[in-house]
Amino acid sequence: MTPNRAFKTAIYEQLARIAKALASPARLELLDLLAQGPKNVDLLAAQSGQSRANASQHLQVLRGARLVEASKSGLHVTYRLAGDEVADHYLALRKLAETRLTEVERITRDYLEQRGQLEAIDGADLVGRMRRGEVTLLDVRPADEYAIRHIPGAISVPLSELEWRLSELPGDLEIVAYCRGPYCVMSVEAVELLRARGFTAVRLDDGVHDWRWRGGDLVSGEEPA
């Protein structure tokens, strides 16, 4: 093997480490969840519908490819993305699939059509309507994810709390709910509940990293009193 061929083979072998680590639906979902912020194994397992053992194995593969990092405190191990570039790569992969695979659009359309939620507000339209005070933006993710990063002006009302916090919401404004991105179903469930209770509600497909990808600002911290 010539030095040139050995060099190229060695480089592509390293690139393939990333591709192999991503070649799993379960691991892609774990990356999507970790894009919201650090999480421990038990939480990741619960949110991804996996056993703790399976989630741990997949996280080790991602860690071996240096896509995630881990820190230990006592018996608890917390995982986080190795950097925003990992979230960017996941988004690029997702957008490539959306562009090249018609199945992605069909599966999404069929699901949303069954739930009566094909329509979603555009991000640029949302900014203008928020400035004019025409809508209320709800972040229905868990409160810890909201505290890490959220869209400016969003109110934190986790889906698990939405039913008993309806009285806090203005009844004269349209409500826009968002969660982790276009394939997160929490916003779909939130809109269903809101509409059933008489509110005018619609989804925002963007999650926080989609919002950042499009050039939008993000803020961190607890919701102001």
Indicate which residues carry an active-site annotation: 179
- SS3 (DSSP) at 120: strand
Q: What is the 3-state secondary structure (H, E, C) of 86-143?
A: HHHHHHHHHHHHHHHCHHHHHHHHHHHHHCCCCCEECHHHHHHHHHCCCEEEEECCCH
Q: How many CB atoms are closer than 10 A to CB 150?
A: 22
Q: How far apart are CA 191 and CA 177, in angstroms?
A: 7
Looking at the DSSP bridge assignments, the partners of residue 71 are 78
Residue with tokens 């349209």: 174
Convert 210-219 to b/e letters by CB count within 10 Å (16 or more is b): bbbeeebeee
Convert 37-46 to b/e letters by CB count within 10 Å (16 or more is b): bbbebebbbe
Token code pair at residue 125: 């339209």
Q: How far apart are CA 32 and CA 131, in angstroms?
A: 30
Q: How many CB atoms are closer than 10 A to CB 170?
A: 10
- SS3 (DSSP) at 218: coil
Q: How far apart are CA 181 and CA 185, in angstroms?
A: 9
